Structure 1
Amino acid sequence: MVHRKRRAIVCGTKFGRVYLKAFLDPAVPFELAGILGRGSDRTRRCAERYGVPLLTSVAEVPDDVEAACVVVGAGAGGGEGAILAQALMDRGIHVLEEHPLLPSELADCLRTAHRNGVQFHFNTHYVTIAPVRAFIDAARRLAALGPLSFVDAACSIQVAYTLFDILGEALGGVRPWAFVPPAPWPEAVSRIAASAPPYRTLEGVLAGVPLTLRVQNELDPRDPDNHSHQLHRITIGGRGGCLTLVDTHGPVVWTSRLHLPASAAPLAAIDEAPEAHLDYPTVAWALDGPPPTHRQVLGQVWPRGVVQALTRLAAAIDAGTPPLERGQYHLAVCEAWRQATRLLGFPAPPSARETAPVPPGAILSDARAQEIVRP
C-alpha cells in the first residue's frame, strides 16, 4: 500500500538549500509544496529550480501544507526563526527547526506545539548524518561493555551547539554536567606566541564522564561559515581503548590500549609474551569505500541527514508522540551549551592570516595530500 506523502515547505534558502535537496530523495516522507522566504534572487532561483511556489508570509502558506522546515536563524544570531516556527504551529503546521535556539526559545516552541497539538522537532543536523550516527551507535556499544573513562573533544564555535547533542546521544544524555572556567595564558607565554591561540580549553563533566573540550573560539562576522580548523573531533575512552570520530564525516576509529602483561617481565623479548591480546590489531575502523569529497558532503551526505530528520518527524506525527518527551532532552542540551559558551567568552575574530584570501595550493588536492601523508 502506497501512503500519500504529506505536503511540506522549506523556510529559508541559505542552509535551507540542503533541506531542499533532501526532497529529491525518493525516501523522504514529504512532498515539497513551496518555499517561504523574503523573495531574494537566491530564493526565487530555488523556487524555479524545484518548481514550487515562492511564499513571502505565513498567511500565504496553503491550507493543505502539514509540515514546515524552519531553516532560519533565531535569537542566537539575531534572527526570528523561533517566532516564525510558532506562527506556523499556530496554524496547525508541524515544524522541524534547524539549530540553534536559545533555551527560552526552545521552551516557547515546545509550549506552542503542545498548545496546538502539533509536532515540534529540533534538528542539530550533524547528529543525523551517517558517519556521526555510526559513531554514536559505536559509543553506545562501548558503554554497554563497562564505564566510560573520559571524553576528549574539539570543535569550532560554529558547531559547539551540535557537539553537545552528539555527545548527549553518545552518552545517553548530558546530565549531570559541570564545567571549570578556562584559565588564561600567563603573560610570559602569550608574549612569545606568534599569534593569539585559536582554541580555548574547557574541562568538566558531562553525563558524569570527565570531559576535556577544546573550542576554536573564533568567528568572522563577515564570513561566519568559514575559517574553522575542524568541525567535530571526538574521542571517548573505555578500559580497552579509545573510540574516535576523526572528523564529522568520518572515519570512526577504535584504538586498542597497549597493555604489557606481567608475564613479559622475566622474558628476554617483550613480544614473546604468550597473551593473545598482543596479536590484536592496534586500530580498527569503519569506512565503507573512499571518504567523501566536500562536494559529496554538501550534495549527498548532508541532504541524507535531513531525510533522516524528516523521517523521524513523520513517524512522530503518525504516532502522536508528545513533543515534550524529546524536548526535555534538547532543553538540557541547550542549557549545557549556554553554560559552556558563557565560560568560553565572546568569540574573537580570526587572525588576519586566516581571513586573508586563500593562496593557490593552500587547499590540497587528493594527490598532494597523499604526497604529504605517504611520502
Structure 2
Amino acid sequence: MHKFRILICGAGFGQIYLEALKRINSEFEVVGLFCKNSPHSQLIASYYNIPTYDDISQVPENINLVCVVVKSSVLGGEGTNLAIEFLSNGYNVMLEQPVHEKDILRCITIARSKNRIFWVGDLYSRLESVKKYKKYVGKILCNNQLSYIEVDFSSQVSYPLCDILIEVFPEYRPFKLEDRVEQVGPIQVVKGIISDIPIIFKVDNRADPKSPDTYLNVFHRIKATFDCGSLVLENTHGPIIWYPVMYITNGISNYHQFTKYNTPELYEDSVNLLWKSPYNSFSDIFRYQWTEALNNIFSMIKEYSEQKENDLNGKYQKFLLCAKYWNMVTKKIGYPQIKNNDNYTRFSVSEFDNIGGNYESDF
C-alpha cells in the first residue's frame, strides 16, 4: 500500500506532529524535517531517525503533504512565506494557526492555480471533546432554544476558540462584538452576539514573553445555556457536564407533593457528567488526544488528495471566517499583559487529601 508521505517544517511545535505520526496508523510516513539545521533541530531529527532539509530544492518531489508548523507572518514568523513557497512548487500544505485572513486567501489562490490543497491547522476543533460537545448541542437544539453563550479562554488560544465556535454553532451568523471592553483585574470581558444570541467572552490576556505558550489557567471553557439547562465544556479537552434547570411543575407548591410521579424532574441529578476522556493528564492530552485529532486531519487531507475533483470551497470559507472572527476578537482585547511566571509554584491535587472528598472518581 502506498503510504501518505508527510514533511514537517519546524522543530518546535512540530515535535507534536512528529510524535503523532510516530504513534498513528501505518498509512502515514514522515519523510523528513525541514528546519534551520540548528543543534536542537538535529537532535530532534536524530531522535525520530529522519533526514533534515534546509532548502526547498533538496526536498523530494513525491511528498503528499507539507506541514508548516512555524509561526505565520501575523506573528512575525516565516510560516506564511514557507507555505507560499511550497504551494508554488506544487505541494499540498497545512499551515499551523493563527493565520491572517489575507494570507489564507493568498494561499488558497495559489493552491487552486496549482490544483493543490491548502489547509489551516484546526487541531482543537478535531478533538473528540469538541465533536462530542457539538453532538450534544445539536441534540438539545432539536427541541429547545439557545438562550446565551459564555466563553472563558486564554488569549494564546483565541484563534482555535473561533474555530470551535464555528464548528459547534455552524448555523449562527453573523458575529458582532460591542465596542466596550471591561477590565476586571487580569480578566477582560467582551460582549457580543452570534446571530441574535448573546455571547460573553472572559479573556485571560496575559503572557510571559520568555514562555508565551505556558501558564494557561484555561484553554477554553464554553457554556451554552438553553431553556432547559446548561451544557458546559469545562475545558477544551473535557469533561462535558449537563446542568438541568431547577423546574417545579405548575400547581405543585407543597413539599409533600414532590414525588417522582408529580415532579420527576426534581429526582434527576442536578450535575451530570456526560463525557470524560480516558486521557486527562497534560502528557496524555499531548500524546493521545492531540494525536487522534491530527490523525483525523491527515486522514481528511489524504481523502481530499485522492479525489479527482475535490471541492474544498466549504473548508476554505470556514478558514477565512475563522480568521475574520479572530481578527475581530484580537482587535478588541489588544496586546497581552506581561505575566512573570518565574515564581510559579506547583500545587498538586494530592494536597487536597487531608480535606477529604473523592476527587479521583467524582469527575
TM-score (ref. length: structure 1): 0.89
Q: 1:174 and 1:309, CA in 2 relative to 1: closer, same or farther beyond 3 A?
A: farther
Q: 1:20 aligns with which of 9, 18, 43?
A: 18
Letter aligned with residue 249 of structure 2: P
- The offset of 1:201, in angstroms, is 0.6
**2:243 aligns to what?**
255
What secondary structure, in the 3-state scheme, does the structure 1 residue paired with 2:146 have? Answer: coil
The 8 Å contact of residues 28 and 310 in structure 1, kept in 2 or not, is answered as no
**1:191 aligns to what?**
none
- The offset of 1:16, in angstroms, is 0.6
The 8 Å contact of residues 100 and 124 in structure 1, kept in 2 or not, is answered as no
Q: 1:103 and 1:282, CA in 2 relative to 1: closer, same or farther beyond 3 A?
A: same
Q: 2:342 aligns with which of 353, 356, 372?
A: 356
- The offset of 1:22, in angstroms, is 1.3
> Over residues 263-317 of structure 1, what are the superposed CA-to-partner deviations in whole Å (9 max), with x where a residue is unaligned?
222x244634713222222222234575511111122221221111111111111
- Aligned positions of 1:187-198 closer than 5 A: 197-198=185-186
> Over residues 210-257 of structure 1, what are the superposed CA-to-partner deviations in whole Å (9 max), with x where a residue is unaligned?
100111111222211122211111111122111111112210111111
- Aligned positions of 1:168-247 closer than 5 A: 168-172=166-170, 175-184=173-182, 197-247=185-235
User: C-alpha separation between the residues in 2 aligned to 1:142 and 1:219?
Assistant: 37
Q: 1:207 and 1:30, CA in 2 relative to 1: closer, same or farther beyond 3 A?
A: farther
- The offset of 1:20, in angstroms, is 0.4
Calculate percent identity across the aligned residue pairs.
Answer: 23
What secondary structure, in the 3-state scheme, does the structure 2 residue paired with 1:73 have? Answer: coil
The 8 Å contact of residues 182 and 344 in structure 1, kept in 2 or not, is answered as no
Letter aligned with residue 226 of structure 2: G
Kindly indicate whether residue 75 of structure 2 is the aligned counterpart of residue 87 of structure 1.
no
> Over residues 46-86 of structure 1, what are the superposed CA-to-partner deviations in whole Å (9 max), with x where a residue is unaligned?
21122211011222110111211111101221012111111
Q: 1:333 aligns with which of 298, 314, 322?
A: 322
The 8 Å contact of residues 96 and 310 in structure 1, kept in 2 or not, is answered as no
**1:102 aligns to what?**
100
- The offset of 1:374, in angstroms, is 2.2
User: C-alpha separation between the residues in 2 aligned to 1:372 and 1:247?
Assistant: 25
Q: 1:373 and 1:292, CA in 2 relative to 1: closer, same or farther beyond 3 A?
A: farther
User: C-alpha separation between the residues in 2 aligned to 1:301 and 1:178?
Assistant: 32
Q: 1:181 and 1:206, CA in 2 relative to 1: closer, same or farther beyond 3 A?
A: same
Letter aligned with residue 203 of structure 2: V
What secondary structure, in the 3-state scheme, does the structure 1 residue paired with 2:338 have? Answer: coil
Q: 1:289 and 1:247, CA in 2 relative to 1: closer, same or farther beyond 3 A?
A: closer
Q: 4+ residue runs of structure 1 moved beyond 6 angstroms?
A: none
> Over residues 5-25 of structure 1, what are the superposed CA-to-partner deviations in whole Å (9 max), with x where a residue is unaligned?
121101111111110011123
User: C-alpha separation between the residues in 2 aligned to 1:25 and 1:294?
Assistant: 17
User: C-alpha separation between the residues in 1 aligned to 2:162 and 2:181?
Assistant: 21
The 8 Å contact of residues 217 and 344 in structure 1, kept in 2 or not, is answered as yes
- Aligned positions of 1:1-375 closer than 5 A: 3-27=1-25, 29-172=27-170, 175-184=173-182, 197-265=185-253, 267-269=254-256, 271-272=258-259, 274-287=262-275, 292-319=280-307, 320-350=309-339, 352=340, 355-359=341-345, 362-364=346-348, 366-369=349-352, 371=354, 374=357
Q: 1:341 and 1:76, CA in 2 relative to 1: closer, same or farther beyond 3 A?
A: same
How much is the aligned-residue C-alpha RMSD, in angstroms? 2.1
Letter aligned with residue 343 of structure 2: P
Q: Any stretches of 5+ residues in structure 1 without a counterpart?
A: 186-195
Letter aligned with residue 58 of structure 1: I
User: C-alpha separation between the residues in 1 aligned to 2:246 and 2:332?
Assistant: 36
Letter aligned with residue 122 of structure 1: V
User: C-alpha separation between the residues in 1 aligned to 2:113 and 2:71?
Assistant: 24
Q: 1:263 and 1:164, CA in 2 relative to 1: closer, same or farther beyond 3 A?
A: same
Tell me how many residue pairs correspond in the alignment: 356
Letter aligned with residue 111 of structure 1: T
TM-score (ref. length: structure 2): 0.92
